[in-house]
Amino acid sequence: MRVVVQSERFDAGALLDGFGAGAGAVVTFTGLVRGDGGLVALDIEHYPGMTERALTSHAQAAMDRFGLADVLIVHRHGHLPVGEPIMMVATAARHRRAAFDAADFLMDWLKSRAPFWKREIGRGGPGAWVAARAEDETALGRWG
């Protein structure tokens, strides 16, 4: 199990080399900065200390709940231009269903419980803080 919080860009391919070896199924999800409405970048702030603790405890919860062989969570902070990867999760399990479900579970949790905050940067400079979405909260509720 591994949790990484960093500002630097990450190489998903390198991180996945050897990940889940022997497990049977690996699922990955990568979130990118989407260039909506003239967006130039996102500035992502986080709560150092709490972020690592919360991600680690939730990675462990996913391991236990879905019987995973391994979990990887990488999440960036700082200034991220459009097109750059923001974060990734990878799950390894014996069979694909547990790996898919665990990745979904981790993403629903990250969206509304991981202490990150995003600010939109447009061509004219800093814009609005990204608001939490009710549908993300609803999605998290699916898991009980």
What does the binding site for other proteins look like in residue numbers (CB under 8 A)?
Answer: 31, 45, 47, 49-50, 53-54, 75, 86-87, 107, 110-119, 129-132
CA distances from residue 87 to 30, 32, 67, 106 in whole angstroms, order as listed? 6, 7, 23, 12
Closest CB 36 distance from other proteins, rounded Å? 14
Per-residue DSSP letter, 130: P
| CB closer to other proteins out of 21 and 132 | 132
| CB closer to other proteins out of 94 and 118 | 118
| CB closer to other proteins out of 15 and 23 | 15
Q: What pairing do the DSSP bridges indicate for beta strands 85-93 and 70-76?
A: antiparallel
| CB closer to other proteins out of 28 and 115 | 115
Closest CB 68 distance from other proteins, rounded Å? 19
Return the residue matching tokens 């391994």: 70
Closest CB 45 distance from other proteins, rounded Å? 6
Is the separation of the CB atoms in 37 and 111 below 8 Å?
Answer: no
